[in-house]
Amino acid sequence: MLTTSSYLPEQAIIRDTVAAGDYYIKTIKAGQTVRLLDLEGNQAADTLFYSAANPSERYSASDTIREQGNVYLTSGSVLRSNLNNPMLEIVADTCGRHDTLGGACATESNTVRYDLEKRCMHACRDSWMLAINEHPEYRLNKRDIAHNINFFMNVPITEAGGLTFEDGISAPGKYVELKALMDVVILISNCPQLNNPCNGYNPTPIEVLVWN
Ligand SMILES: [Zn+2]
């Protein structure tokens, strides 16, 4: 469902640009609102959430899908943890659909899907691993890298139940906004993938904005 936000960018307390292919990690306090802005369009932001107080509590795609009875994420979706607690709610969305089934790219899946020579290419899983390695203060380790959300990514389900990676439905300036319902750590890989249409074969920057 398409919904807009009344927050003004100039009133945000945080405005960070995440370069194409880079990672982003930050704590968002309960009650704060975070916006992911697709600056140039057709970019995938592969995102994980953790409870800041207890990093073993993390975003759970299966709990979220079961509770809302729908596989797509958009306005009104409550993102739930592996303990079935509400972590964040999507409060504005000008894109209309986000994926939580397709998973993140990895060097291993790149070789299976595309070519053995693709193994050395950058991938979301490596970006997350680099983030948690360079930021031990978040107390995350390899086991915490679980199923994720692909904001702005379009993975429609066929009538037979199949998953298809389609051209993105995002565009320059589209955004999704989430209100934190607990203190959460947000970990984003601004997807560096060059082999499928999730980034339009051309990774671009996103902006992260936070309001109190
Ligand atoms: Zn990726």
Could you tell me the distance, in angstroms and rounded to a whole number, from the CA of residue 39 to the centre of ligand 1?
17
50 bridge partner residues: 58, 185
| Predicted pLDDT at 197 | 64
Q: Span 121-128, mean pLDDT?
A: 89
Could you tell me the distance, in angstroms and rounded to a whole number, from the CA of residue 31 to the centre of ligand 1?
29
Residue 3 lies in a domain: no
Tokens at residue 158, please? Answer: 């066929």
- Weakest-pLDDT range from 10-19, 104-113, 123-132: 104-113
Residue 34 lies in a domain: yes
d(CA 99, CA 165): 10
Could you tell me the distance, in angstroms and rounded to a whole number, from the CA of residue 155 to the centre of ligand 1?
13
| 67 has pLDDT over 90 | yes
Q: Span 40-67, mean pLDDT?
A: 96
- Weakest-pLDDT range from 90-104, 117-131, 175-189: 117-131
| Predicted pLDDT at 198 | 66
| Predicted pLDDT at 107 | 80
Could you tell me the distance, in angstroms and rounded to a whole number, from the CA of residue 99 to the centre of ligand 1?
12
Residue 54 lies in a domain: yes
Report the percent of the chain where pLDDT is more than 70: 96
Quick one: CA dihedral 63, 65, 69, 74, positive or negative?
positive
Mean pLDDT across the chain, nearest whole number?
Answer: 92
Element (H, E) at 23: strand 23-28
> How many CA atoms are closer than 13 Å to the CA of 199, on its beta-carbon side?
22
Residue 1 lies in a domain: no
Taking Cα atoms as reference points, which of 94, 98, 90 lies closest to residue 156?
Answer: 98
Domain containing 150: what range? 9-211
Provide φ and ψ at 172, rounded to 5°.
-55, 130
Chain centroid to Cα 146, Å, comes to: 12
Global pTM reads 0.93
CB-CB contact of 142 with 44 (8 Å)? no
Could you tell me the distance, in angstroms and rounded to a whole number, from the CA of residue 51 to the centre of ligand 1?
23
- Report the domain count for the chain: 1
Chain centroid to Cα 164, Å, comes to: 18
Q: Span 37-46, mean pLDDT?
A: 92
Tokens at residue 153, please? Answer: 């990514």
Task: Quick: pLDDT tens for 169-188.
Answer: 889 999 999 999 999 999 99
Neighbours of ion ligand 1 (CB under 5 A): 105, 124, 191, 193
Task: Quick: pLDDT tens for 137-172.
Answer: 999 999 999 999 999 988 889 999 998 877 778 899
Residue 4 lies in a domain: no
